Chains A and B, each alone.
Chain A
């Protein structure tokens, strides 16, 4: 179909633009190589198969925004299929006499049918996206005030990029589709395998016969030639995600979510010494973090789920990735060649934003392309702490307290087990006698006056169920989970070493804790420090005890309608979704899920050191937002007025949640409408307080029913 001259031009274009593109990809490779080493090349083949399957099914995208994702899927399927279509178009262009537009049977007929239908899918999808961005002006594409943005980003670079990419797809697919219609029109034929192009061809038959040949040539060039021209642009546009995203997913971190990457590495990817922990500049980040910048498509799903963003703080995980990419685009050759970036806190993310993160993992979990902006933030914190940057006064004084006394309350170590003093029985000192379970109590459960009663209830329930457990008394120190997440790696190591040393001297089989943060550190991070025990959350142990008949619930608490808040470090991080729900069911409460539950649970706002900070969010606090969500889900009016109304409970299973949500109930003015209860309080009530043993004695099964 193409003339010799056209063929020559096309080949020249492929050589020039293709060469440019190859060079661009090579530069991106060099850019990514500048990052710190990271262990990512284990299980490459199964990971790649998994990534391709996930991308193929658009699974990671369906974690949120199902309707928009469907439009994306239309584009994705069409675009993927277009690889075949484009090959066929090339053949049409280069093989004289080769034409397939009218074929309706056999494999080519099928190719035509799919191409025709999927073309419409792509056009519909792109049109929907353009309408959403430029006409409906979806608010989710905007950033909070004070989010740090590079000038290029702030001046609408994302919009321009999106418009260019959108128009390109419209032209590419639209032109190819029109080309098919023109061919059918020229032949005066219809093709059942191309129903949509066929329909358009009926209109196009009105064209003068002399117009068809140039129009077909033009449509070929706009469809195929355009790709070639656009290839180098892809390198610096958001469209590069079609390459980077699958790669990112294939090379995603395989360790437990709750195990942070090491703070230090001796060298960067190019062998330059990196003696300091964490990251200050781009090249200090691990290489997957540089790839994140290319994988990001700027969809802002991460900020949708970000508690800092939603409380109007100046943090947007996606803005961080976008700033990184814009900076890299502007300093493409220089950075690939070894230049260093200014500190990230000057242009990629503000220090305020770095300190606003609750490390809830929601952004990482929801990201369809496998980005880990939270890892950047923790590395930035690590370096800020190391460099003696001015810290939030609350964080600093808490770290100093933990350093001095081993707990975040600054209390003397010998006061750690004071909560247990008012129990009628003595809890085993696991340092002195063996126990089946070592109960690692944690700071809030030990010291906070609002939580201690709950801690005692846990002790009484366990004792009554005949569980053999002991505690470390003054030898227990803060587990360091949040210490590590505010970036104080050295203090975390010290705490981990001290706790592991103390625990190593004891005889026990498993570790239990009520604190999800402690659970995370012990389960996922202590093994690196020699602490290789099985650590479980008390909800899991209680569920096991009920299953085994060792813990019998006498009363059905059907007068409660409850909802359950999944703590980040129990749920999203450690997959502890089911035991709390099983316990609530066993207690006979009416259970209602909040819209955001399990993997999609919404952070209370305490994690990552936030509970120690003095800073105040501008907007609604995460915990307040959650209480309102719970009240809407529990619907206080459901039972109508009068005496039949059930009591509404907000059930938690984390000592910090008790504190956060009790406060939030008060600050939202919902006292009397909803109560915060720890799950253990439901269990104790269902067991019957009177049946709960409180003194040294026989196990539960010795009590007559």
Chain B
């Protein structure tokens, strides 16, 4: 076994996903602790330039026409072969749509333990400890692999991405290889990409949401929230009374009869926090609630709260954001 850290970099539509940089940065840090190298692996076809953006110790680009688009079977085979060849100490995969197709299967085929939903990784005296966020974010579990080597699948946003980009000091060695395994007989065939239908903004995809409730008072005040959302480059979402009143379309409703959102920041203005609403936004990373009623249940789930008048706060905040 080597002390290397193998990182699977993802790319979609000609763009390297942030998770790749996040894992690369963390992987390099761990590789130092293990006394090995951080090796970023990218699979593709004729896009080695993408791989060159990864700030790992070395970058391995596996080039094959069958790898032009993500294919779980092709990716799985190539990774299994690389793990077999290089016997890394740690394999890092994103806990993403792609990574979730691979990590658990690799764990079985390579006979390595898997720790999933990881948002914390530490090498303590050369031994790895991984913290998984499970049970809908309600519980953190810190675990150690039973053997030395293992696979982890990391949550997006868990580690800083900048640490994994090619920086001034670091020019990784880029090695381009052909697929170590035949990829001609795949049972899975990529057919096409289907673009999302254009329509209203998808509030489930926003990293930050300006969400308003009854406290907005009336339709005439919706604009205040729209302005803030615009400044933040996001959309206004709402609790049921607001969409019921027709002040915002139903596609903006968060909660039981609306959508479930998990943004990084959820700004809840004038939302009292009916259980039906909480159900749809509990998973947000950070919740900031503003409501004049200090006893509003929203404060039980919010991380930060204030009781000032949201109608004064909205323009003040918009100004601060624009500045």
Given a CB threshold of 8 Å, the question of whether A touches B is answered with: yes
Query: Which A residues have a C-beta under 8 Å from some C-beta of B?
Result: 393-394, 397, 409, 447-449, 613-614, 616, 663, 666-667, 669
Q: In the complex the two chains form, what is the Cα distance from A555 to B218 in whole Å?
A: 39
Nearest residue, chain A, Cβ from B300: A449
Residues on B with C-beta less than 8 A from A614 are: 240, 256-258
Which of B244, B275, B297 meets A616, CB within 8 Å? Answer: B244
Write out the residue numbers on chain B whose beta carbons fall within 8 Å of the beta carbon of A397.
Answer: 256
State A393–B297 Cα separation when bound (angstroms). Answer: 24
A616, closest chain B residue (CB): B244
CB pair A394–B297 under 8 Å, yes or no, is: no
A-B contact pairs, 9 of them (CB 8 A): A394-B256, A409-B275, A449-B297, A614-B256, A616-B243, A663-B241, A666-B214, A667-B214, A667-B241
Contact partner, A393, options B240, B257, B275, Cβ 8 Å: B257
Please indicate which of the listed interface residues B218, B240, B241, B244 has the most CB atoms of chain A within 10 Å of its own CB: B244
For the complex, give the distance between the alpha carbons of A183 and B58 in Å.
121
When distances are taken between beta carbons in the complex, the residues of chain A under 8 Å from B257 are 393-394, 613-614
- Interface flags for B271-310 (1: CB within 8 Å of A; 0: not) read 0000100000000000000000000010000000000000
Given pairs A409-B275, A666-B241, A667-B245, 7 additional interface contacts (CB within 8 A) = A394-B256, A397-B256, A449-B297, A616-B243, A616-B244, A667-B214, A667-B241
B residues near A (Cβ < 8 Å) are 214, 218, 240-241, 243-245, 256-258, 275, 297
Q: Roughly how many angstroms separate A621 CA and B178 CA in the complex, as a whole number? A: 67
Chain A min CB distance to B291 (Å): 13
Name the B residues within 8 Å of A667 (CB-CB).
214, 241, 245
Nearest neighbor of A409 in chain B, beta-carbon distance: B275
Closest to A659 in B: B274
Closest Cβ of chain A to B294, distance in Å, is 14
| Minimum distance in angstroms from B112 CB to a CB of chain A | 36
- Distance in Å from the Cβ of A442 to the closest Cβ of chain B? 16
Residue in chain A with minimal CB distance to B276: A394
Complexed CA–CA distance, A394 and B274 (Å): 14
B246 closest partner in A (C-beta): A616
CA distance A669 to B214 in the complex (A): 10
Name the residue of chain B whose CB is nearest to the CB of A398: B256
**Measured between C-beta atoms, what is the minimum distance from B138 to chain A in Å?**
13
Q: With the chains together, A449 CA to B300 CA distance in Å? A: 11
Q: Which residue of B lies closest to A392 (CB)?
A: B257
Contacts of B258 in A (CB 8 A): 614
A691 to B229, CA, bound (A): 51
Bound complex: CA A342 to CA B245 (Å): 37
What CA separation (Å) do A447 and B297 show in the bound complex? 12
Instruction: Rank and list the top 3 A-B pairs by shortest CB-CB distance, nearest first.
Output: A614-B257, A449-B297, A616-B244
CA distance A449 to B257 in the complex (A): 19
When C-beta atoms are compared, the residue in chain A nearest to B295 turns out to be A449
Docked complex Cα distance between A490 and B243 (Å): 34
What residues of chain B lie closer than 8 Å to A669, measured between beta carbons?
Answer: 218
| Nearest CB in chain A: distance from B299 CB, A | 11
Q: Which residues of chain A come closer than 8 Å to B218, judged between CB atoms?
A: 669
Please, which residue of chain B has its CB at the minimum distance from the CB of A617? B244
Nearest-neighbour CB distance to chain B for A215, whole angstroms, equals: 66
Task: Report chain A residues within 8 Å CB of B240.
Answer: 614
The complex places the Cα of A616 from the Cα of B246 at a distance, in Å, of 10
When chains A and B are docked, how far (Å) is the Cα of A105 from the Cα of B258?
79
A469 to B218, CA, bound (A): 46
A409 to chain B, nearest CB (A): 6
Alpha-carbon gap, A663 to B241, bound state (A): 9
CB distance from A25 to the nearest CB of B (A): 50
Return chain A residues, CB-CB under 8 Å to B241: 663, 666-667
A613–B244 Cα distance when bound, in Å, is 12
CA distance A393 to B257 in the complex (A): 7
Bound-state CA distance A449–B245 (Å) is 23
In the complex, A614 Cα to B258 Cα: how many Å?
Answer: 8
Closest to A662 in B: B272
Q: How far is the CA of A10 from the CA of B64 in the complex (A)?
A: 101
Give Cα distance in the complex from A667 to B243, angstroms: 12
Q: Would you give the shortest CB distance from A330 to chain B, in whole angstroms?
A: 39
Cα distance, A205 to B256, chains bound together (Å):
80
B214 neighbours in A (Cβ, 8 Å): 666-667
Point out which of A393, A614, A666, A667 has the most chain B C-beta atoms below 10 A from its C-beta. A614
Minimum Cβ distance to chain B for residue A599 (Å): 30
Q: Which residues of B contact A409 (CB under 8 A)?
A: 275
Q: Within 8 Å CB of A616, what residues of B? A: 243-244
A663 vs B239: C-alpha distance when bound (angstroms): 13
The minimal Cβ–Cβ distance linking B166 to chain A, given in whole angstroms, is 48
* A657 CB, min distance to chain B CBs, angstroms: 16
B273 closest partner in A (C-beta) = A449
Q: How far is the CA of A393 from the CA of B280 in the complex (A)?
A: 14
Which residues of chain B are within 8 angstroms of A447 by Cβ–Cβ distance? Answer: 275
- Give, as a whole number of angstroms, the nearest-CB distance from B4 to chain A: 46
B302 to chain A minimum Cβ distance, whole angstroms, is 14
List chain B residues, Cβ under 8 A from A663. 241
* Distance from B141 Cβ to chain A, minimum over Cβ atoms (Å): 21
Which residue of chain A lies nearest to B297 when distances are taken between CB atoms in the complex? A449
* Most A Cβ at <10 Å: residue of B243, B257, B258: B257
**When chains A and B are docked, how far (Å) is the Cα of A394 from the Cα of B241?**
15
Bound form: Cα–Cα A393–B256 in Å: 9
Task: Name the CB-closest residue of A to B243.
Answer: A616
**Cα(A663)–Cα(B272), bound, Å:** 11
Which residue of chain A has the shortest Cβ distance to B279 in the bound complex?
A: A410
CB-based nearest A residue for B258: A614
B240 nearest CB neighbor, chain A only: A614
Q: Quick one: closest B residue to A411, CB to CB?
A: B275
Closest residue of chain A to B218 (Cβ to Cβ) is A669
Cα distance A464–B306 in the bound complex, in angstroms = 37
Q: In the complex, A228→B157 CA distance in Å?
A: 87
How far, in Å, is A620 (CB) from chain B's closest CB?
Answer: 12
Which chain A positions have C-beta within 8 A of B244?
A: 616
Closest CB-CB distance, B203 to chain A, in whole Å?
16
CB distance from A240 to the nearest CB of B (A): 43
> Which B residues touch A393, using CB under 8 A?
257
Q: CA separation between A663 and B214, bound complex, in Å?
A: 9
Q: Which residues of the partner chain A approach B256 to less than 8 Å between Cβ atoms?
A: 394, 397, 614
Q: How far is the CA of A397 from the CA of B258 in the complex (A)?
A: 13
CB of A506 to closest CB in B, whole Å: 29
Alpha-carbon distance A394/B240, docked complex (angstroms): 13
A560 to B212, CA, bound (A): 34
A611 to chain B, nearest CB (A): 10
Instruction: For the complex, give the distance between the alpha carbons of A358 and B241 in Å.
Output: 20
In this complex, what residue of A is CB-closest to B296? A449
A324 to B256, CA, bound (A): 37
Chain B residue with the shortest CB-CB distance to A613: B257
A560 to B: closest C-beta gap in Å:
23
B301 shortest CB reach to chain A, Å: 12
Q: B209 CB to closest chain A CB, in angstroms?
A: 20
Minimum Cβ distance to chain A for residue B172 (Å): 50
* Shortest Cβ distance from A448 into B: residue: B275
Residue of B nearest to A449 (CB): B297
Docked complex Cα distance between A652 and B245 (Å): 25
Inter-chain contacts of B297 with A (CB < 8 A): 449
Q: How far is the CA of A322 from the CA of B244 in the complex (A)?
A: 32
- A393 vs B260: C-alpha distance when bound (angstroms): 14
Measured in the bound complex, the distance between the Cα atoms of B272 and A13 in whole Å is: 75
